[in-house]
Chains A and B, each alone.
Chain A
């Protein structure tokens, strides 16, 4: 990413506060940060259903985690519906989570070199986990162990 020095636009007039003021929170004014801001919200809405649903199905409803085992996964991933659910959730959760980490890192890791390094660790990890998860969701074939179960 290019580092450029440019004239800062004049600071906007401070918003009036208190009753009657135009309410609202700050939001990025444009560019990558605005897209990231928008992505967090849109993926958040989708994850509201996918991730909360996943957690309730796996950990709360109908005996929860006690019924989750190899056979349970074998039945689920035999169904394109659950494969799609899990893959979309995997993709959105990773990007949502790693972008969240980027925002947190921005606040707590000040030196530019260290910040870059920490972010690169998360991006690399995210890429590897995305590849791993994608391969597992779409290539898993329980019939390979048909005799063993």
Chain B
């Protein structure tokens, strides 16, 4: 397609729906891959306290704590965006406010992540002894 004059020198930013579609997919795949591992690590509880507490001790690592924060963020995002999807699917007229609702979802996600990041971040800093 020929470029319009107004396209020159602008960055393609996509639409909110397109970005949330990608984010929903990435968070969904990440969560289900974690779920596969998580069912196995939880099953270790059947081998007694020594085995289970040893598995659980992977969380005594700052990098794993960052992954933990990422997991919580992924679940919260996927849930909020899922609500947005259902809103559009069950009440089609709401798609007229797609942009606003996408912004609201992102805003709600960011607001929710403030205390969560504070809590997990604090625990992580305490773990490495910086706090």
| Pick from A22, A48, A65, A66: contact of B79, CB under 8 Å | A48
The residue among A23, A68, A73 with the most chain B CB atoms within 10 A of its own CB is: A23
Q: Within the complex, what minimum Cβ distance (angstroms) separates A122 from chain B?
A: 9
Closest-by-CB residue of A relative to B98 is A23
Q: Are A69 and B53 in contact (CB under 8 A)?
A: yes
Q: Are B52 and A73 in contact (CB under 8 A)?
A: yes
B66 within 8 A of A: no
Assembly CA distance A65 to B31 (angstroms): 18
A45 within 8 A of B: yes
B40 within 8 A of A: yes
Q: Are B29 and A60 in contact (CB under 8 A)?
A: no
Q: Are B123 and A55 in contact (CB under 8 A)?
A: no
Which of B5-13, B86-94, B103-111 is the contact stretch?
B86-94
Q: Within the complex, what minimum Cβ distance (angstroms) separates A37 from chain B?
A: 8
Q: Are A60 and B43 in contact (CB under 8 A)?
A: no
Assembly CA distance A101 to B39 (angstroms): 17
Q: Are A97 and B28 in contact (CB under 8 A)?
A: yes
**CB-CB contacts below 8 Å: B70-92 with A:** 71-72, 75-76, 79, 82-83, 85-86, 88-90, 92
- List A contacts of B92 (CB < 8 A): 22-25
Assembly CA distance A145 to B68 (angstroms): 29
- List A contacts of B45 (CB < 8 A): 70, 73, 136, 140
Closest-by-CB residue of B relative to A52 is B79
Binding site for B on A (CB under 8 A): 22-25, 27, 41, 44-45, 47-48, 51-52, 55-56, 59-60, 63-66, 68-71, 73, 90, 93-94, 97-98, 100-101, 104, 125, 129, 132-133, 135-136, 139-140, 144-145, 148-149
Binding site for A on B (CB under 8 A): 25, 28-29, 31-32, 35-36, 39-40, 42-43, 45-46, 48-50, 52-53, 56, 59, 68, 71-72, 75-76, 79, 82-83, 85-86, 88-90, 92-96, 116, 119-120, 123
Other than the given A69-B56, A139-B46, 8 more pairs (CB < 8 A) read A41-B86, A51-B75, A64-B123, A70-B45, A73-B42, A129-B39, A140-B46, A148-B48
